[in-house]
Amino acid sequence: MTDSPHSFIPPYILNRIIARGSERQRSSAQSTLTHVRTLRHTPRPPTRPPATTLLPPSTRPGLAERSIHDAQGKMLLPGMPVRVEGQPATGDPAVDEAYDALGASYDFFWKVHGRDSIDNQGFALIGTVHYGQEYENAFWNGAQMVFGDGDGEIFERFTRSLDVIGHELTHGVIESEAGLLYADQSGALNESISDVFGVLIKQHVLGQTAEEADWLIGADLLAPQIKGDGLRSMAHPGTAYDDPLLGKDPQPGHMRNFVVTEEDNGGVHINSGIPNRAFYLAAQALGGFAWQKAGHIWYDTLCDPRLGTQASFSEFAALTIEQALKRFGPDEQFAVAQAWADVGVEPNRESL
C-alpha cells in the first residue's frame, strides 16, 4: 500500500475505465492512473512554492490571493500565469471557474470560521488548469491545486464542480491542522472531511439549507451519457452512480459494510461514505444551514489538538460529540451522537 496524493477520482474508477472503456477512454484513464501512482504525498504543513512564480501570502486577512496558471496540456507545474488576484475574467472557462471557486472557498472559511486561507496565515491559493492530455483527475499536491480537463466522454473538466475545488482546498486545511495520514480510517476521514467542506462551500454559495441541498459530490463532472448523479452521495452512499462503464458506486454507509482492502490506500475513497453519512444525518437533525452547526462541530474537531494523525472513526466521533456540547449544548450533542450510532460507529472516548 503506497501513500498517494489527494486525488479526487479514486483508482478503482480509473481501473474500471481501463478494463471496459473504448481505446481513447482507456488511454486517458491509464495515463492518469500511471501519473497518480508516480506521485507521493506525505502529510505536512502546506508548502509555499517559489515566490518568483506565485503571489506572496496575503497581508490582508479576509481577502484571498489567487493565482491561476495554464499547464497548456503539459504536466509541468505551476504552468503559465494567466489570471492573478484582481484581474478580470479571461474567457477561458477553466481559468475563470478555478478563480471563482478558489475565491468562494476562501470566503467560506473566512466568513464562517474566521480562517485566513489554507494555513490560517494568508496562504496564496494556487490553481493550475489544462493539466495533461485529457487528464481524468484533480489533486492537491501539498502546495497547490491541479485540475485536468477530463475526456469529455466520461468526465467533464474538473473546474466545473465547485465542491471538487472546495474538496481539494480542504485537503490543505486538513494538513495544516491535523495531518491525517492518507491511509485506512484516518485517510477515509481525510477524504470525508474534504467532502464535508466541499459540499458546505457549495451550499454556502447557493444559500441552501441542509434539507434543500442535494448532498452530491462531483454532480457536475459526469458526462451526459454516464448513468449517475455524481461521484459520491453523502446522503445515501452507494447510490451516486450505476453505469455499465463505471460500475456501481461501492461506498458503504454503515460500519457493517466497511470495506477491508489494500487498494486505494486502504479504501480511503470507499469507506469515507460512512463518516459522510454521519455528517449528513447530523446536519439534517440539526436543521437550517448545515455550516451553522454541523459544520462548526466538524471544524472544531478538525482543529482539536487531540485529533491524532492516525485517528479512527471512533476517535473522531467522540471528539465531534464533545465539541457539539462545548459549542452548542446537549440537544446538539445528542443529534451528533445519534448520527454516529446510525452508521454503526461507537465513539471511543477513552482515547481522548
Domain end position, chosen among 151, 177, 203: 177
pLDDT score at 351:
63
Rounded to whole angstroms, the Cα distance separating 42 from 142 reads 9
Q: What is the DSSP string of 180-225?
A: --SSHHHHHHHHHHHHHHHHHHHHHHHT--TTT---EESTTTB-TT
* One domain, residues 271 and 130: no
Domain end point (choices 177, 207, 225): 177
Mean pLDDT by 10 residues, the chain (352 residues): 64 94 95 82 48 56 94 96 97 98 98 96 96 94 94 96 96 95 96 98 98 97 96 98 96 98 93 98 98 98 97 98 98 98 92 62
CATH at residue 73: 3.10.170.10
Of residues 153, 157, 132, the one with CA closest to residue 23: 153
Q: What is the pLDDT of residue 47?
A: 53
Choose the catalytic residue: 6, 69, 171, 269. Answer: 269
Q: Is residue 1 part of a domain?
A: no
Instruction: For residues 50 and 145, state if they share a domain.
Output: yes
pTM of the model: 0.93
Q: Are residues 137 and 194 in the same domain?
A: no
Active-site annotation holds for 269: yes
Expressed as residue numbers, the domain containing 239 is 184-351
How confident is the model at residue 51, as a pLDDT?
41
pLDDT at 42 (0 to 100): 47
Q: What was the pLDDT predicted at 3?
A: 41
**Pair 206, 132 in one domain:** no
Verify that 263 and 330 share a domain, yes or no.
Answer: yes
Which one of 177, 209, 224 terminates a domain?
177
Residues 16 and 51 in one domain: yes
pLDDT, residue 150, reads 96
> What DSSP state is assigned to residue 228?
B
Residue owning grid cell 501570502: 57
Task: Kindly state whether residues 261 and 116 are assigned to the same domain.
Answer: no
pLDDT in the model for residue 349: 76
Write down the catalytic residue from 97, 134, 153, 168: 168
